[in-house]
Amino acid sequence: MYILFEGIDTCGKSTQIELLQKDIQNILITHEPGGTEFGLKAREILLSGKLQSKRAEILLFLCDRAEHFERVIKPNMDKTIISDRGFISGMAYAMANTELDFDKLFELNMFALEECMPDYVILFITNRETLMERLGNKGLDGIELRGIDYLLQVQDNMKTIVDRLDIPYLKIDATNKIDVIGQQIRDYLGSAI
């Protein structure tokens, strides 16, 4: 079972993954970028804000995605895998940064993932006020420094992407209380986890 938790920065997906990890046995938690040795280096480059080329940024994400799939996802398909971000985020950020469209980005991501789609997607949706409050309480990385409107555009792209894919998904109101969100996720995934 391969499950993606998707959403923009500070939406609470990592918190929910940590709670699931405490409660459920035999799950593998990973994340993109950074779930492999190569991914840690790629993440450092991506979050530094030093890349000039948005296409280089996309290609670096795709390299990380392919390596992550080969080293983490593929060998563990007999387990429940929960990934903090995946190709939906990759596509959503790329759509916000370049003129590349859904079809081209989907093709590139399916190449990186050897055509393997997740079984479920949990998409966290936040609002401007909550995003501003949460970003104001932390140091910002290179991507977060692009601003609130940029992040909300990425979120809109994520909604568009999951609506176009043939993958079961749950949209979560990320402004709800942590325990409410946790129960919604458990109810939705049921015996899958």
Segment 21-60, tens digit of pLDDT: 988 888 999 999 888 999 899 888 887 778 888 888 899 9
What CATH code is carried by the domain that includes residue 47? 3.40.50.300
CA–CA distance, 130 with 132 (Å, rounded to integer)? 5
Name the least confident of 40-54, 73-87, 110-124, 170-184.
40-54
**What is the per-residue pLDDT for 92?**
96
Q: Which whole number is the average pLDDT over 106-118? A: 97
Q: Domain containing 76: what range?
A: 2-192
pTM of the shown model:
0.89
Q: How far is CA 134 from CA 21, 130, 175, in A?
A: 23, 6, 11
For the chain, the domain total comes to 1
